[in-house]
Structure 1
Amino acid sequence: MGEILSLAATNLISPIILSFVLGVVAALARSDLTIPEAVAKGMSIYLLFAIGFKGGAGVAAHGIDGTLVATIMAGLLLSFILPFIAFYLLRILTPLDLVERAAVAAHYGSISIVTFVAATSVLEGRGLDPEGYMVAVAAVMEAPAILSALWLVSRGNGNANVDAGLYREILFNGSIVLLVGSFLIGVITGDKGLEKIAPFIVAPFQGVLCLFLLDMGLVAGRGLRDSRKDLGFGAVIFGIVMPLVGSLVGLLAALAIGLSTGGAALLMTLSASASYIAVPAAMRVALPEARPSIYLTLSLGVTFPFNLTIGIPLYAALAGSFVGG
């Protein structure tokens, strides 16, 4: 417990977390502080490209082996299974109807790439470098949860509008294309390619991440401020409990595969995070009757800050205890 508290305290006073807190406070205080949408989009593109390229270069140095394949398969399986856990947990904790439970559940089977990036930064700062191919695991965990949620609605005689357009939106979502594409460029060019553009994607990374999390804090704060009436106490509890449940499932998978401490902590983080980019876009098409004020505020306004402040240090400490290192 002492190690977890120490890690949490260190994490809370990091520039990354404090930038997020600044954004939340500014939004709750109704400050006119804003990040232009074009700038926020540019930072998002930069972060996705940087993390994908570095992950690909890591795979090139590591090589393809059974552990890599097993980890990717585990990521796919986790993304399919976690929505079912979330769905039934929501039934216990909230009065939400079937469609809204499924929409929320989809977010908690998919992943938050920003949480992934923040966790990677924290782990590398502690000398717990995760396997480079974890970025590929993040990419494959984006979409399967959406299909699980639509199956849950279909089974319950809901109205799931599944068509070719939705599948195309899932598979060719911009964040997935950029992440996978930059990852492949990193695999092809390897360490030599990374060395050439390191001044661009390595040195500025932390500063760009701070500004991006400032913007995320502004968005989360506005969501909490404007959507409190739509969130019940049970939903908020779910937004904290589900990441803990997901992280434990991720830990079991990491132990079965034999990941390093950093890799295990990162798989736990992926399993504990909740999407607020790819899945909301899909839900607007597939389940338009589900309220964004529920699923988006839960994922971005409750689970995202929980993971940033408490979750990531907790997952790192648990991984250290069970995996070692």
Structure 2
Amino acid sequence: MDIVIATLTSPVILFFILGMLAAFARSDLAIPEAIAKGLSLYLMAAIGLKGGVAVSESGFTPDLALAAAAGVALSFLIPYFAFALLRSFGRLDQVNAGAVSAHYGSVSVVTFVTATEIYTGQSIGPAGYMVAVLALMETPAIISGLMLARRGEKRADSAGGGLMHEVLLNASVVLLMGSFLIGLVAGPSGFEAIAPLFQIPFTGVLCFFLLDMGLVAARRLVESRAMTVRLTILGILFPIANGVIGTVLGTAIGLDVGSAAALGVLGASASYIAVPAAMRMALPEADPGLYLSMSLGVTFPFNIIFGIPLFAALAQAIG
């Protein structure tokens, strides 16, 4: 209960709830798109830099290798579990089930950043190398989702080259990995000069960004016409099941409590940036209103409010 209360009373979470309530009340509160993109760029650069600096201090360890292997395995395999349920219980066709399953195998940067900030405030901050795990988990799920969506088809995909370019060079992957490498090279001494920009304002910027995400998530949920009760149930079941698997796996390979919980958060989260961009190119026949409503309208709010404290409590209980 202490973890749940600490999470729900965090200003970061309260700003997200404020955004959702404002949207449900049909307030005209809004953050301009250009500012929202700027906040997103800042957060990804800051988390990448701090992760690189942390790895620079600790060095490359067996824990990093194990966490990376576990993360990639989760990203590649989760879509198969999700696809089966989306086809049977969710009653989706093959293409839409494949597109949605890719979102659940990939990750949400904002969910991870939020969890990192909250866990750090509770003195169980994850290891810096988890940023690298985050970046590695973005792409394997896209491959799995496309294989599932196109299973049984014998035609060649002429967009394959463009898709791989989109996956490997999308903005979030480039900025996260680039800033991670900069932090790795610069180290603590190099980071000290820019710490006033990337460390002190971080929580305040995250509050504004989550205010905007609350507005977007609630409005997407209200406007969606593709969501059914069955899909809403799956949008909550997936993060619980995947997050528990990730947390237990992280504990089993010897990660500390914060890192195991963070792996759970990564397993539980669903992409709404990189994967939608890839799906628009590779599966234009899939319904964006469907996969965005599930990932952003259902799973994202669930993880922010309930998933983050749940996986921390589980990691502490079994760690």
Question: What TM-score do you get using the length of structure 1 for normalisation?
Answer: 0.95
Residue of structure 2 equivalent to 1:196: 193
- Name which of structure 1's ranges 103-112 and 216-225 shifts more when overlaid on structure 2: 216-225
Aligned residue among 40, 54, 64 for 2:60: 64
Residue of structure 2 equivalent to 1:309: 305
Aligned residue among 177, 180, 183 for 2:180: 183
Aligned residue among 210, 215, 221 for 2:218: 221
In the TM superposition, residue 294 of structure 1 has moved relative to its aligned partner by: 0.8
How many pairs were matched up? Answer: 318
**Structure 1: which 4+ aligned runs deviate by more than 4 Å?**
158-162
CA offset digits 1:41-87 (Å, max 9, x no partner): 11001000000000000000010122211211211111100111111
SS of aligned partner of 1:30: coil
Paired with 1:218 and 1:67, the residues of 2 have a C-alpha distance of 38
Residue of structure 1 equivalent to 2:145: 149
CA offset digits 1:181-239 (Å, max 9, x no partner): 00000000111122111111111000000000011011111101100x31111100001
- Please provide the CA RMSD for this pair: 1.3
SS of aligned partner of 1:320: helix
Percent identity over paired residues: 54
In the TM superposition, residue 18 of structure 1 has moved relative to its aligned partner by: 1.3
Residue of structure 2 equivalent to 1:47: 43
Residue of structure 1 equivalent to 2:246: 250
| Counterpart amino acid of residue 236 in structure 1 | T
Residue of structure 2 equivalent to 1:207: 204
Contact 2:105–2:270 (CA<8 Å) still a contact in 1?
Answer: yes
- Name which of structure 1's ranges 119-128 and 248-257 shifts more when overlaid on structure 2: 248-257
| Counterpart amino acid of residue 296 in structure 1 | L
CA offset digits 1:255-294 (Å, max 9, x no partner): 2321000000000000000000000000101111111111
Structure 1 gap ranges (5+): none
The answer to whether structure 1 residue 262 and structure 2 residue 258 are counterparts is: yes
Contact 1:134–1:266 (CA<8 Å) still a contact in 2?
Answer: yes
The answer to whether structure 1 residue 108 and structure 2 residue 104 are counterparts is: yes
Contact 2:251–2:257 (CA<8 Å) still a contact in 1?
Answer: no
Contact 1:186–1:194 (CA<8 Å) still a contact in 2?
Answer: yes
The answer to whether structure 1 residue 235 and structure 2 residue 231 are counterparts is: yes
Paired with 1:31 and 1:237, the residues of 2 have a C-alpha distance of 28
Aligned pairs for 1:85-104 (under 5 A) are 85-104=81-100
Contact 2:103–2:141 (CA<8 Å) still a contact in 1?
Answer: yes
Question: What TM-score do you get using the length of structure 2 for normalisation?
Answer: 0.97
